[in-house]
Structure 1
Amino acid sequence: MKDLIKELQLKIEKLENEISFKNGLISILSHDSKELFGNFLWLIEAVEEKTISEEDFFKLLPQVKSDAQKNLQIVQDSTAWLKTQYGEFKIKPEKIMVMDLFHHFEEKYAVKLKEKNIKFHFKGDPNAFVTTDRLLLEYVLDKILNNALKYSFSGHDIHLQEVTEDHQVIISVIDFGTGMDEKYLSTVFTYGNPIFHGTAGEKGAGLSLKIVKNFVSLMHGNIEIFSSENTGTTVSLFLHKFIE
């Protein structure tokens, strides 16, 4: 009887988390989209009615561009999440070399790494592998690495670290950037966390980490974040080495 109650409690908790996630996603999409298009409409009307000078118009364009980029990221993240919600979604496990992931992101972020004078290093066994869904894992690591770059100081390195323990592989992204106060760590996966700006003024969409946690759960893994203000952040994924 106790086992049945415990199982029901876990199912209820899972459903509550899913409902909270979906409601938060809808809230972000509706609020940010309304704000963006409201700003677009105001700017267009101001130009049409000539209540704004050409000089002021061009001064506002960088902010409009930044808002548009943020909203585009929200749409892309939402689309990635929606793909896991249609029909009976099942992960497609495959053997993935961790070093291949490192080279993939080293190439993808080459320009941004150069812009911030940041070197990207691999630490661990070059022959290590993990068995999971490639699309989900690449999305998760992409968002974590993007945050690491965003909050890293110029000239500071970023590491992709692999540690294998029995049948578990721990993949960590380690940066030495702004970090965050310990009081914020418990809120990073919720909708109540503050939005931080990167070291070059980059603005976050406030959604990626929430989808990251959802995807890690789909991979039957765990995620942990360790951070210290002005020291850096380590985000670790705990995944299966073999198919269970």
Structure 2
Amino acid sequence: MEEFIKELQIKIEKLENEINFKNGLISLLSHDSKELFGNFLWLLEAMEQKTISEEDFFKLLPEIKRDAQKNLQTAQDSTAWLKTQYGEYKIKPVKIMVMDLFYHLEEKYAAGLKEKNIKFYFKGDPEAFLTTDYLLLKYILDKIFNNAVKYSFPGKDIYLQEVTVDDQIILSVIDFGTGIDEKYLSAIYTYENPIFKGTAGEKGVGLSLKIVKNFISLMHGKINIFSSENNGTTVSLFLRKFIE
């Protein structure tokens, strides 16, 4: 009986987490969409009614552009998450070379790395591999690396580090950027944590890491974030080397 109650409590906790995640996602999408379109509509009406000068209008456009980019990213993140919600998502394991993940990140973020004069390096076994779901893993690393670039100081390096221990592989993205104050770390996956701006004024909604944690659980893995304000952040993924 005790074992049955314990199992039931685990299921209830899992359902509560899923409901909170979905409610938070809906709230976030609703709030950000209203904010973006509200600001855009206000700007257009101000121009029509000539309550704002043409010079001030163009000064505000970069801010509107950043808001639009932020909301586009939110929509893309939400779409990626929704793909895992149609029925029971089934992991599609394939062999993935870790160096291929490194080259993918290096190529995709080449412009952002160049803009901030950031060098990207690999540490670990160049022959290392794991067998897992490529769609989920690529999404996870994309989001973690995007944050690393966003919050890195110009001229600082970023590393993708691989460590294999028995049947576990640990992938870490290490940056030396703004970091996160310890008091905010415990709330990093909630909807109450503050939103930070990148070192070049980039905006984010904080949604990516919430979806990342959700995807990591689908892969039967764990995520750990070690960060210190103004000293950088290390995000480590603890994954099974083989997943069926």
TM-score bin, normalised by smaller chain: over 0.9
> What is the CA–CA distance in structure 1 between the aligned matches of 2:155 and 2:42, rounded to whole Å?
40
SS in 2 for 1:188: coil
Q: How does 1:50-199 map to 2 (within 5 A)?
A: 50-199=50-199
Per the alignment, residue 47 of structure 2 pairs with: 47
Gaps of 5+ in 1: none
How far off is 1:149 after superposition?
0.5
> What is the CA–CA distance in structure 1 between the aligned matches of 2:87 and 2:203, rounded to whole Å?
34
How far off is 1:201 after superposition?
1.1
Gaps of 5+ in 2: none
Q: Deviations over 1:128-162 (max 9, x none)?
A: 11111001000000000000011111111000000
Per the alignment, residue 210 of structure 1 pairs with: 210
How far off is 1:48 after superposition?
1.3
What RMSD, in angstroms, separates the aligned Cα atoms of the two structures?
0.9
Q: Deviations over 1:82-117 (max 9, x none)?
A: 111112321101111111100111111111111101
> What is the CA–CA distance in structure 1 between the aligned matches of 2:138 and 2:200, rounded to whole Å?
25
How far off is 1:36 after superposition?
0.7
SS in 2 for 1:163: strand
SS in 1 for 2:56: helix
- Deviating 4+ runs (over 4 angstroms): none
SS in 1 for 2:125: coil
How far off is 1:230 after superposition?
1.0
Letter aligned with residue 37 of structure 2: F
Letter aligned with residue 24 of structure 1: G
How far off is 1:38 after superposition?
0.8
Percentage of pairs with the same residue? 81
SS in 1 for 2:147: helix
> What is the CA–CA distance in structure 2 between the aligned matches of 1:172 and 1:11, rounded to whole Å?
30
Per the alignment, residue 10 of structure 2 pairs with: 10
The normalised TM-score by structure 2 is 0.98
Q: Name the count of aligned residue pairs.
A: 244
> What is the CA–CA distance in structure 2 between the aligned matches of 1:180 and 1:38, rounded to whole Å?
31
> What is the CA–CA distance in structure 2 between the aligned matches of 1:196 and 1:42, rounded to whole Å?
25
SS in 1 for 2:223: strand
